[in-house]
Structure 1
């Protein structure tokens, strides 16, 4: 009965979505306030209905209702409760329901917190959001119903993919979807603005918080996925340019460009047409990622489904939503004339360069991801595009981008002084050059060592550069300390958010560079008592034993980690064999110093000789990847608390003092 209630709630939600996507639009066209106001209660009704469906599916998983096909195929009575709940979105149907739930949550947030939005813009935005929701509700109802029954019901389920039975993967999809789907709000605002034919500074101020929120969640989602791949797959890496990794990275790149271009619209009334186009393309790339994951045209450990019918539906939805919005853009874009003019060397110019580099990087990743698909479809043979291609074409684009990230904030709006900006960045330049030279010499002074030295030099340049920019704002060391503190207290929080986010990028660049060039790996067969030294750290193998987990059997290895004769930690990696469904997994054991990770993996027993196959890694500066991602997300949170980003926050004027302000008869 609960499952049928969930299914019925989705049907009703679809009907509400049809109403919400049409009536407010008509009302906005006619100037009918009653019809426009219908969007808000409709958004609430749709949230309650979709929330009911999601709760019904979650209940079926929690109580192990194997009469529901989705539960029977993706759960098991022996699963820990965390993975019973995360199993709700650990499959195609459930993840699609989570997607729709987040869609209606964002719409409800706009309905509740966008009270001071212009009525016509709010009505049109919620209507466009309802159109997207209606499309996905059609998708789930006709091709991916999560509430289908199974008769007779099995005694137990098949279980969740063991690779997904991990805390990182329990939270990774919701975080990723909050980012993916969050960009739908920027898309809805953009289409609503095209319908109205009006894009101005106020529109940019409305759209920036939603874009920033989506970008923050997507940053955390990508970081969680990278962290999961690092410690769960047991290969010692954190990024492989996997097609599904790229599917989340592309909207992140486009969304970053959108964030920066919206600043120019708000501050200088320029780049309006470009910003609208970016909003459309960013959400389009989110839909493209959904298509890649569900179509079966790519092979990935992250992919949910391989049903061409479902993939065709998503492709149709992508074509209608993005194609339709691009047609509207083609009609309306010529009327979106920019207001403020600016010189190439200016704050606007640096943000434009940022956009061009980000857009080029996005196109590069898109080409590398889709080229094998097109080559296969055109019978050109099987083509593999892997890390060498992406590293060769993507990394050079990041060098000028990082250089500009430190210079841009030092430039003035409209017309900047690049010589003056560089003069204030002398400390950053000096330290960056010093780090480059020292790194290059220590690495061996060869041609192959140049890129490693460049990477570390860029990280230092950006990290020191953002610190100098913040110090320059508050006149640190150029004014009394009390005045500097007062200036810091009056700075908008978005300024601190930018500093934190850019510092996070610097940490990520340092982590990527050092872990890529100075990682050490040892692969060997080890017997109990044997010691292997990796970069000055001693791994002593104590042997292996069989252990029993809640729903798996495992071989657990034991390594004593020591340095200079002093024991530091005991590492216990596992080689697991799950029973439902049958599948082996590798569980790495990691000890971190905060600056580096010591990483141990135990494999199968060696054939024809005693001992076990082991892999040992020294991973320098890998923790900086996670520090950097968290710092970027923290920058987003700090920026969101800026009063200027609070949707609908009015500026209250103080009453004039004096006789004129006195009430009559006073």
Structure 2
């Protein structure tokens, strides 16, 4: 019964979304406050219905209801409970339901926390969000129904893909969707502003926190996915420029540029066209990623579906929303008034250059990802565009961003002093040069690693240069500086931490050049040296899991005779799926990691193993956490709570029609 009501809840949610996509906009056009007031209530009700449908599907997975095709294809009664729950979105139908749930979460959040927003803007935002929800609810009900029943229910299910039976499934997709789909709300704000024709600093102030929330989640989601691939696939890599990896990177680049644009628009009432365009672009790239994963146009470990009908439906959604918004943008763009003027050498100018570089990086990834697909569709010729292309084209474009970030932070608004900014960055520049000289003398190795490490040190220190200058201005003591720190805007602190986090990630990436790798056949009793460690391969044994069996290779790690860690790399076999997967053994020692992946044991008891020493590799993901922390600091700034309400009331009073 719960399953049927979940299906009906989706039908009701579709009907409600269709109503909410029309009435609030009609109310805004006619200044009918009663019609505009429909939007928040309908958004909250829609969230309740979609959440109930998601609960119903989760319940079916937990109790192993094999009368449901979705449960049969993706679950097994012996599967651990955590994977029964996460398996709900470990498939096409369930992941699309999660997609719509996140859409409804953001709509409900706007409905709950938009009391200070102008009524017309709120109504239009929620209406546009309902357009998106209605399109995807229709897609689910017509092509991807998660509640489809089977006439003859089998006694057992087919189990979940072994690669997805991992704690990473509990965090990576939800976080990625909160970022990916969360960008829909920035799109809705942009479309709503274009519909009403009011694009000003108030709009920028309201859209910025939602962009920041989506950016934080997308940052964490990409980082979690990178680490999940790193320890699950068994090849020791954290990024392979897979088309679906690229599909998440492109919205992140666009959202990063959008964040900087909203900052300029809020403070200087400038870059309006950039802001609207990037808000549309970021969500459009999210839709493109959804199309790539579910259309069958590519083969990837991330791909969910290969049904052309579904791909055509999503392509139609993509065309309607991207084409419609760009058409509206083209109509309105000519009427946008020029905002505040600024000199080329200024913080605004640095942010414009930042956006040009970010969008060029995004375009490079876009071309490298889609060109092979377009070429195959048009000519039938297959080509491979992989890491060499992206490393040679993306990196040279991204490196100038690292140089620019601290400089931009130290330039004044409106008109800056480039020489003065360079002087304030003297300590950061000096520290970067010293780091390069020390590393060249101590580690030697790849020149690229030495240069990038020095650049990373420069970015980390330079990110805090402006704050340190402000804290110790006038020769203030440490006590006075600490007192001043309490009064610093959290947005400024958040920006510094986010930029420093990017520098920390760069340092982790640079250090991989000093790593080591060995591919070797190991027998119990063998000792292997890698980096500063000695690995003793003690034994190979079998172990039974709840729905798998595994071959485990117990390995002891020592340094100069001292025990450092014990790891158990394994190869797991899932009999229901008839599939195997590697379970790497990883020991984090300081900020570096020893990584061991093994294959099945041979008749003589030996196993083929891949062994890595990766110095400072943990910094790659620690940097992402620091970036997200910086975003959270900015989000907690009181201006997002007080400033928004104050400006909104003023704007609403000005816009209020005479009685």
TM-score by length of 2: 0.96
1:577 matches 2:573: yes
Name the residue aligned to 1:611. 606
SS at match of 1:614: strand
Q: CA deviation at 1:371?
A: 0.9
1:482 matches 2:469: no
SS at match of 1:87: helix
Name the residue aligned to 2:585. 589
Post-superposition CA distance 1:277-302 (Å, at most 9, x none): 00000000000000000011111111
**Following superposition of structure 1 onto structure 2, how do residues 516-595 of structure 1 map, counting pairs within 5 Å?**
517-595=513-591
Equivalent pair of 2:10/2:49 in contact (CA under 8 Å): yes
Name the residue aligned to 1:452. 449
Equivalent pair of 2:189/2:207 in contact (CA under 8 Å): yes
1:511 matches 2:482: no
**How far apart, in 1, do the equivalents of 2:347 and 2:321 lie?**
34
**Following superposition of structure 1 onto structure 2, how do residues 456-471 of structure 1 map, counting pairs within 5 Å?**
456-471=453-468
**How far apart, in 2, do the equivalents of 1:289 and 1:37 lie?**
34
Residue 477 to residue 521, structure 1, CA distance change in 2 (3 Å): farther
SS at match of 1:528: coil
More moved, 327-336 vs 596-605: 596-605
SS at match of 2:298: coil
Correspondent of 1:650 among 642, 645, 652: 645
Structure 2 unaligned residues grouped into runs of 5+: 648-659
Correspondent of 1:624 among 619, 622, 633: 619
Name the residue aligned to 1:8. 8
Equivalent pair of 1:114/1:647 in contact (CA under 8 Å): no
Name the residue aligned to 1:658. none
Name the residue aligned to 1:203. 203
Structure 1 unaligned residues grouped into runs of 5+: 653-666
* Equivalenced residues, count: 647
More moved, 119-128 vs 634-643: 634-643
More moved, 528-537 vs 641-650: 641-650
Name the residue aligned to 2:93. 93
1:351 matches 2:351: yes
Equivalent pair of 1:65/1:71 in contact (CA under 8 Å): yes
Q: CA deviation at 1:477?
A: 7.9
Post-superposition CA distance 1:583-604 (Å, at most 9, x none): 1000001111132001111212
Q: CA deviation at 1:221?
A: 0.4
1:338 matches 2:342: no
**How far apart, in 1, do the equivalents of 2:444 and 2:101 lie?**
54
Residue 416 to residue 399, structure 1, CA distance change in 2 (3 Å): same
**How far apart, in 1, do the equivalents of 2:377 and 2:642 lie?**
46
Name the residue aligned to 2:52. 52
Name the residue aligned to 1:664. none
Name the residue aligned to 2:633. 638
Name the residue aligned to 2:656. none
SS at match of 2:609: strand
More moved, 126-135 vs 527-536: 527-536
Q: CA deviation at 1:162?
A: 0.6
Q: CA deviation at 1:444?
A: 4.3
**Following superposition of structure 1 onto structure 2, how do residues 361-440 of structure 1 map, counting pairs within 5 Å?**
361-379=361-379, 381-440=381-440
SS at match of 1:88: helix
Post-superposition CA distance 1:17-72 (Å, at most 9, x none): 01100000000000000000000111111111111111110110111000010011
Equivalent pair of 1:525/1:606 in contact (CA under 8 Å): no
SS at match of 2:572: strand
Post-superposition CA distance 1:373-405 (Å, at most 9, x none): 011112251100000000000111111101111
Equivalent pair of 1:293/1:302 in contact (CA under 8 Å): yes
Residue 544 to residue 206, structure 1, CA distance change in 2 (3 Å): same
**Following superposition of structure 1 onto structure 2, how do residues 20-419 of structure 1 map, counting pairs within 5 Å?**
20-379=20-379, 381-419=381-419
Equivalent pair of 1:248/1:286 in contact (CA under 8 Å): yes
More moved, 1-10 vs 430-439: 430-439
TM-score by length of 1: 0.95
**How far apart, in 2, do the equivalents of 1:476 and 1:78 lie?**
65
Q: CA deviation at 1:443?
A: 5.0
Post-superposition CA distance 1:102-135 (Å, at most 9, x none): 1011001101100110000000000000000000
